[in-house]
Amino acid sequence: MTDLADALASELDRELHDVDARLAAAYPGDAGSRQPVHTVYVPADRYTRDTATRWGAEALAALDAHAPHLADVWGVPEELAGELAERVRRKLGIEPIEDLRIDLEDGYGIRSDAEEDAEAERAALELAASVASGIAPPFTGIRFRSFEAPTRRRGIRTLAGFVGALVKAGGVPDGFVLTLPKVTAVEQVGGLVRVLEALEAEHGIAPLRFEIQVETPQSVLGPDGASPLPRMIAAAAGRCTGLHYGTYDYSASLGIAAQYQSMEHPAADHAKAVMQLAAAGTGVRLSDGSTNRIPVGDRTAVHAAWALHGQLVRRSLERGFHQGWDLHPAQLPSRFVAVHLFYREGTEPAAARLRAYLERVDSGFMDEPATAVALAGFLLRGVDCGALDVDEVERGTGTDREHLAVLARRRPTP
């Protein structure tokens, strides 16, 4: 029987060789690197080298003015409130923005060619200065205009100008990601790849990576009745880092009235479920969208906006979307309170379940390897964003960070 099994296995190895190779290429698994918990969009004309520092100061001022006690706004359990407040304040002081996108698209508006050319160059020089001084967020990038016919030429011109200025000012920083908005056809993704190849050859730089904004009906459902998202990821030729949901463009395209446009609308949930399926196993990350309810005004108005934002962030996390968009400095407190609370509340039970799984003892759950992957991934994401400390996770699980990465099936970082 052993000889027969070996012969059959060898035969199938030969028959499935090409299939195995395609699956390995298309579904490499988690990228193994840190994923930011949010992306902050700042119009290019408002961006300066100290934007992240200023946002952190404004966020702390809003927290001091309107939320002396976290339990009053977000319902944080009393036993967690003190520690959580300390962690959030520290986060706002040292890393208020994890991922910054300089916006030369909708947030920037329509300008003359000369004005946009100058703005792209100025913003690139400011980013380079921020990186050189050590105050840039760990992840940065730009959003340029879409590759649809009316804006394609302007988008390429802005992209080329920004990258060229950045290279001359010191080079493309680590963690730099481009955003391709309003994608309506797979061929637009392939077109961006060709543009990037030309820019890389021109400047002698490493491959540039980008995220795809899912904010048009055509990016969710094609004319053939199938989702084009898997083909878009394939067309990116390994350069696509994420699929980002665009709340308001997508909702408006479906004819949803402005007062009902929301990250929790059923149409939004459908689009995000399709994104989740398309990205599963590919190493492409997911990001939810934003809320345009801004925490400004009197304390009552700020608290209401914070409560809504915190609820939406928590909802996204529970549904497997570990990243979202923020549009205003006063949204940072609710972002980090919700994120930190999510991980701190879940740490003890997740660590206990994973430890029981590893030690093969009864925990009240019959967990399988797939659940161990999810438990390890949860704990590592908590460490990445500063909600959890490495030593507390290692104590709770009885294993070290390197083993957790193996359990989470994270690819080793190059």
Q: Is residue 266 part of a domain?
A: yes
Residues 6+ apart with CB under 8 A from 103: 41, 42, 43, 44, 142, 143
Q: Is residue 107 part of a domain?
A: yes
Confidence of residue 126 (pLDDT cuts 50, 70, 90): very high
In whole angstroms, give the CA distance from residue 343 to residue 339: 7
Domain housing 42 = 38-345
186-210 residue pLDDT tens: 999 999 999 999 999 999 999 999 9
Q: Is residue 175 part of a domain?
A: yes
Name the percent of the chain lying above pLDDT 90: 90
Total number of domains in the chain: 1
Is the whole model's pTM more than 0.85, yes or no? yes
The CATH number covering residue 61 comes to 3.20.20.60
Mean confidence (pLDDT) of the chain: 95
Q: Is residue 127 part of a domain?
A: yes
Q: Is residue 372 part of a domain?
A: no
Q: Is residue 268 part of a domain?
A: yes
Q: Is residue 31 part of a domain?
A: no
- Going by C-alpha positions, the residue among 254, 319, 316, 259 that lies closest to residue 289 is 316
Name the percent of the chain lying above pLDDT 70: 99
Measured in whole angstroms, the distance separating CA 336 from the mean position of its chain's CA atoms is 14
Q: Burial of 242 by CB count in 10 Å (0-12 exposed, 13-18 middle, 19+ buried)?
A: buried
What secondary structure does DSSP assign to 71-134, as a single string?
Answer: HHHH---HHHHHHHHHHHHHHHHH-S-SEEEEE-STTT----HHHHHHHHHHHHHHHHHHHHTT
Mean pLDDT of 211-220: 98
261-303 residue pLDDT tens: 999 999 999 999 999 999 999 999 999 999 999 999 999 999 9
Q: Is residue 4 part of a domain?
A: no
